[in-house]
Structure 1
Amino acid sequence: MYLNHYKNEKTVVKTVQELLLSEEDKSLITPEKITETVDSLLSMKLYAKFRENLDYDFVIDELIRRNSIWIGQDSILINNVGHVAWLTTERKKDWRYWERYKEWQEKKLDWVSLNALDKSTDEILGLLEDPTRKDAWDRRGLVVGHVQSGKTGNFTGLICKAADAGYKIIIVLAGMHNNLRSQTQMRLDEGFLGYETHPDPEKIKLIGVGEIDSGLRPNYVTNRTDKGDFNKNLADGAGIRPEERPWLFVVKKNKTVLKRLHKWIHDHVANIIDPNTHQRIVTNLPLLVIDDEADHASVDTGEQIFSEDGIPEENYDPKAINSYIRKILNLFSRKAYVGYTATPFANIYIHEQAETKKEGKDLFPEAFILNLASPSNYIGPSRVFGINNGDGSRKNQLPIIHEIDDH
């Protein structure tokens, strides 16, 4: 049962939730308090019309669900060298991509989780650079989340806000296999594009956020079919101009695909010759790269040589996938890279000074590392198996392990 099926219920739930959020002490939001607030609202003359055919039990149950979960604080390491703070409340006014995504998520997420999503994506976006900033900038960060805890939902929210802010090219690196790439494309079709991507324009239909606000139509080159990865023939028909809507590319971490994408950007999107490197680069379109499962395939597993002073060998050849991700980033004067993973160990051990002449800097998250807090209803390994006390015993585990000592 979804809220958007019930206009009256949706309005009542949203209004009551806003009233409940004004409570300074959230521990006072009990089922009794929720019922009292709903009754009080419906007794008002302004809301009398909503009582007709209202599914009262559904409203109460939905509000209890939304207020039964808590989330801790995200933890973060930040390096703001060269960064200019820019994200303000004023800047976020009329952000339609985010607003429709938020409304779409309301039918699935409890209010606490939705607020946490809003807060964390604000934090991440604010640590990137203002896409309207004209001079060159480069921000690279890492977001760490628990397994199956909503990382895709988080980076979809980040993409929506980035599009609202003015990022024009958004590349999502989505696994190494066609089915995983296609699955991510489908999620972004629902949460960002708002329509089904299909090679046949006649078969495109509104879905997800597109059913909430169909006036936003970001551009796409890749589509949801198994063979819908980046294709030069399709891309050649896409004339990218800075004043247009944002462009979304969902691609595999595959040498051939990334090489093809790099060449196409170099040949068709780059707008000037860099006077220092004499290479074609893009200066008029800010880039956001989202690297899903950033510890997988993206990290260079070769061994670059460094001098005693920490200077890297500039002619070193990194592994192919790492090389082309960096080459794509290196084509842009204004770029941001955000990796998402549940297992960040490979990423944090990237040498912070690793750099080559052809690829530029490595993917070390030098700007920030943010650890997403998990909601109270998240069940992961520590919830199931408990925490090791250090003496061989465990605490806080679920009662699923029973020692048999009568053998």
Structure 2
Amino acid sequence: MTDPLTLDSALRIVRVLIANGLPRDDAVGNPAIPEQLRSQVRELLSREEMIVLRPASIITAESGRGDWLRRMDRSGWYYWPSLRDYLLNVKGWGAPAVRSLDESTDRILAEVSDPASERFDIRGLVLGYVQSGKTANFTALMAKAADVGFRLLVVLSGLDNGLRRQTQIRVNKELAGYADSRPGAVPLPPMGRQWHQFTTEDFDGDFRAGNANHSALQGTQPVLLVVKKNGPVLRRLHAWIDAAPEEVRRTLPLLVIDDEADQASVDTRGSYQTGTTSADDEDYEAPAVINGLIRQLLQKFQRCAYVAYTATPFANILIPHDTVDPSVGNDLYPKDFIVDLPKPSGYFGAEELFGRQDPETGELIGGIDAVRHIPDADLATLENGIVPPSLDRALLDFILAGAARAERGDGVHPATMLIHTSQRTDEHDRIWRQVDARFGELKDEWRYQREQGIRERMRERWQTEFVPVTRASFVGRERSFDQIEEHIGPFVEAVLVRQINSATGEMLDYEREPGLKAIAVGGNKLARGLTLEGLLISYFVRPSAMYDTLMQMGRWFGFRGGYEDLTRIWMPAELAGWFSDLANVEYSLREDIRRYEVEQVTPLQLGTRILEHPAMLVTNRLKSRFATTIIVEQSYSSQVVQTVKFPFRRPVDLAALLEENVLATRDMLGRLGTPTWLDSGPMWSNVSADEVLAYLATYQVDDEVRSLSLALLDSYIERQREQGELVRWTVAMMGRTSHDPRLGRLPWDIPGGIVNMISRSRLRGDPDSLGVITSPGDEAVGFTPEQLDQVTQLRQARGIGINPAAREIRDPSEGLLLIYPISRRSGQELVPGGARQSLFGDPNDPLARDVLGIALSFPRSMNAQSVRGTYAIGTAGWRPE
């Protein structure tokens, strides 16, 4: 197989040639491109051309505000064209990615307002994804802002020097350039276009007035500041601006970029003011320090725009929308616009890694074979200061993944392992000592005792853990252990074990150490903002009860091009389930934004809603203290509900639950009489709703399942029955149409025939979940030929699946209950490395049982009654569709 690095280099050269006007065929046929790579380069370019770019969604307070940008002549722009060339020619971005960035930042800039306007005060929010390229978006926005005339650009970046410095380096590379014309950065702008900078790349290079000159605010060149969200720093900035001539503050256009805007910027203290309260009133309380200083900064200018960037906007959209403090003015609620950036191609987020459930079909979307679960026993071992077996395996995984990347030609790039167990620095020190000692032992074993077991352990781990995953999804990348073995020694020798926290002062500086190989042990400093380059293995056990904190701690989100199959995330199974739940929350929030855009609703007219979770908070209680919980009425009309989660991690509880369900099902079927037999098994028609309700009252669902409520289903059926709907039911058992001896037959006496067991496997990423149990066509069971014809016509007309179409066609008076007899031997034939695993590791285990899953298919209602779900909303209300 061709070395991916060589292929990557060839692709970059061709992109540069195409960007400079050469036809694609001529660029690919250039002598600089090895002949053996040309077909692969053509294939990759063709894939890029097929990428469908979803535009950024936007809800805006003023539909025509962006007209000024459409009228602008861009021929004199400098900063964005320079950045665009840098992204294409130096960073090697594909044309679709650059085009998406160009279009999304145009939409944001249009909302920011024309800097030549006499007065404006804009508040906006840009919603990205964790580790998805938000920095690239706001540097592109700043480049365009400077091109159109914004003169003072301030980036609020992080709470510590490390994050501030990381951002400073990034904007220098992409905007300001360097006097020494170093490679890997935009060229230094010509005289008259260079940036005035009063913050530096030094660790303590934050803003100090002694390094700043007021005359810079009066010239034509833009001023760029990257500052921490820190009280003393912001006060120094305030004092410097206050000392500038009043004319400067009146006419100078200011753009403030607030990176990670849900952190520190949101007010956690101030009282709710609507403009009528005085600061002397008894119930007045000033805003929190950072929030107040940001608002005061904006107040100093007649032309100002504040753009908040975050991937976890829960706190930001719960800011009171109409607060006007007598001292610092409007709060930071995004009153003027909210932008939802498109998910970049190749990005791995919560949905891709952990999966989410489709609300229409009930099927699992996303979820790759990268998640490994830490047993409860290992968590207890870890608390006792001992490296548990799972962490030992994770260390081996890091060595093997790092060696494999080196074999693929990526050995010069960083490789990182994250170990995040606690926020306490004393805990970090204890874990760091244990990991450092254990990794030293592994290094010594490989150096001096290779033939005494470690080579075979490595070989077995590679063949059982990595080869199957690569073979399942990335066939061309598969390598034998013998091929990667020569890279293990050099990789192990290069790895450093570092403790990253405020107590040690250590950091991961990829600028100074571009090929750094490190195991990073830490907490808060590894939990937000900091990019861990080349992150291969994550060992994460620290839970959080808040949506935003938990999502931000997921440093494994991002781009893993070329080594997706080598990435592993170790965490407790319950935590993995929480991330899957958050994927649903995130999806629901973004869907609301897209719908509001179509309806042309403004941010002040209608707030976004956030689905609440029984085990987590939406955000810090102080940030959400003005939020309210609403009960949103929703129905099951045209929906299917399936039991897909069972407590496989608790075998004793699972066995008891499954036995109860066998008794409940046999009891119900025994009352239904003689069935009609279909190819799939027995079917009973005209079953009363009372029978179904009685069955649901005895059928058991695990108490920890949050996505299904039998009580809500009961309530919906009862309400629909009062409307003359769901009064009769079809009940069918969905067995195999042919007998598979491996799966067996249902050992029950059902009049007229025998039911063949079916196979359903568990998700590897969420081992308590089957993902989905229905199959296409199941929901059309019992249909007449005429109804089946109607289903076919509807599918052709609307381009929908057979099951959703069947729900549209089924009579509203009739419900459908499907019962799935799932063999305990399911999945035994699965090849290791796929996204699924067998139902039971040992189907002969005394606790292994056959599983009875059920699905309830509800037809479209003519008069759907509602059941309730809880959502958090801010002071800007929410209304249902």
TM-score by length of 2: 0.38
Check if 1:285 corresponds to 2:268.
Answer: no
1:130/1:386 Cα in 2 relative to 1: closer, same or farther (>3 Å)? same
Query: Where does residue 790 of structure 2 map in the other structure?
Result: none
Tell me which structure has the larger Cα radius of gyration: 2
Query: Where does residue 202 of structure 2 map in the other structure?
Result: 225
Cα displacement (A) at 1:246: 0.2
Query: Where does residue 340 of structure 2 map in the other structure?
Result: 371
Q: State how many pairs are aligned.
A: 358
Query: Where does residue 186 of structure 2 map in the other structure?
Result: 210
Q: Distance between the aligned counterparts of 2:82 and 2:344, measured in 1?
A: 23
Amino acid corresponding to residue 95 of structure 2 in structure 1: W
Check if 1:95 corresponds to 2:77.
Answer: yes
Residue pair 1:291, 1:337 contacting (<8 A) in 2 also: yes
Deviations 1:219-277 (CA, angstroms, capped at 9, x unpaired): 10000111100012112x4522433200000000001100110111011x2424xxxxx
Cα displacement (A) at 1:335: 0.3
Residue pair 1:69, 1:110 contacting (<8 A) in 2 also: no
Residue pair 2:357, 2:364 contacting (<8 A) in 1 also: yes
Deviations 1:281-319 (CA, angstroms, capped at 9, x unpaired): 70121000000000000010114134xxx5453424111
Cα displacement (A) at 1:187: 0.2
Q: Distance between the aligned counterparts of 1:293 and 1:172, measured in 2?
A: 11
Q: Distance between the aligned counterparts of 1:127 and 1:79, measured in 2?
A: 9
Query: Where does residue 16 of structure 2 map in the other structure?
Result: 10
Query: Where does residue 200 of structure 1 map in the other structure?
Result: none
Map 1:2-151 to 2 at 5 A.
10-12=16-18, 14-15=20-21, 37-39=24-26, 51=30, 53=32, 57=37, 60=42, 63-64=45-46, 66-67=48-49, 69-80=51-62, 83=65, 85-88=67-70, 90-107=72-89, 108-133=92-117, 135-151=118-134
1:332/1:212 Cα in 2 relative to 1: closer, same or farther (>3 Å)? closer
Q: Distance between the aligned counterparts of 1:225 and 1:354, measured in 2?
A: 38
Q: Distance between the aligned counterparts of 1:5 and 1:109, measured in 2?
A: 8
Q: Distance between the aligned counterparts of 1:67 and 1:4, measured in 2?
A: 14
Amino acid corresponding to residue 319 of structure 1 in structure 2: A
Query: Where does residue 301 of structure 1 map in the other structure?
Result: 268
1:375/1:305 Cα in 2 relative to 1: closer, same or farther (>3 Å)? closer
Amino acid corresponding to residue 323 of structure 1 in structure 2: G
Query: Where does residue 201 of structure 1 map in the other structure?
Result: none
Q: Distance between the aligned counterparts of 1:15 and 1:61, measured in 2?
A: 20
Residue pair 1:142, 1:369 contacting (<8 A) in 2 also: yes
Residue pair 1:168, 1:242 contacting (<8 A) in 2 also: no
Map 1:337-352 to 2 at 5 A.
337-352=306-321
State the identity %. Answer: 35
Q: Distance between the aligned counterparts of 1:3 and 1:172, measured in 2?
A: 36
Q: Distance between the aligned counterparts of 2:129 and 2:202, measured in 1?
A: 28
Deviations 1:193-213 (CA, angstroms, capped at 9, x unpaired): 1127xxxxxxx6545453385
Residue pair 1:305, 1:313 contacting (<8 A) in 2 also: no
**Structure with larger RCO (C-alpha < 8 A, sep 6+):** 1
Query: Where does residue 278 of structure 1 map in the other structure?
Result: none
Q: Distance between the aligned counterparts of 1:311 and 1:328, measured in 2?
A: 19
Cα displacement (A) at 1:115: 0.5
1:151/1:318 Cα in 2 relative to 1: closer, same or farther (>3 Å)? same
Q: Distance between the aligned counterparts of 2:345 and 2:275, measured in 1?
A: 45
Cα displacement (A) at 1:218: 1.0
Residue pair 1:159, 1:170 contacting (<8 A) in 2 also: yes
Q: Distance between the aligned counterparts of 1:159 and 1:330, measured in 2?
A: 21
Q: Distance between the aligned counterparts of 2:365 and 2:185, measured in 1?
A: 40
Query: Where does residue 161 of structure 1 map in the other structure?
Result: 144
Query: Where does residue 334 of structure 1 map in the other structure?
Result: 303
Residue pair 1:168, 1:245 contacting (<8 A) in 2 also: yes
Amino acid corresponding to residue 330 of structure 1 in structure 2: Q
Residue pair 2:317, 2:333 contacting (<8 A) in 1 also: yes
Cα displacement (A) at 1:74: 1.6
Q: Distance between the aligned counterparts of 1:263 and 1:106, measured in 2?
A: 41
Q: Distance between the aligned counterparts of 2:31 and 2:358, measured in 1?
A: 57
Residue among 327, 330, 334 paired with 1:361:
330
Amino acid corresponding to residue 300 of structure 1 in structure 2: D
Residue pair 1:141, 1:367 contacting (<8 A) in 2 also: yes
Gaps of 5+ in 2: 1-7, 280-284, 370-762, 768-838, 846-881
Q: Distance between the aligned counterparts of 1:62 and 1:152, measured in 2?
A: 26
Aligned with 1:326: secondary structure? helix
Amino acid corresponding to residue 123 of structure 2 in structure 1: R
Aligned residues: CA RMSD: 3.0
Q: Distance between the aligned counterparts of 1:2 and 1:326, measured in 2?
A: 47
Residue pair 1:97, 1:164 contacting (<8 A) in 2 also: yes
Amino acid corresponding to residue 308 of structure 2 in structure 1: G
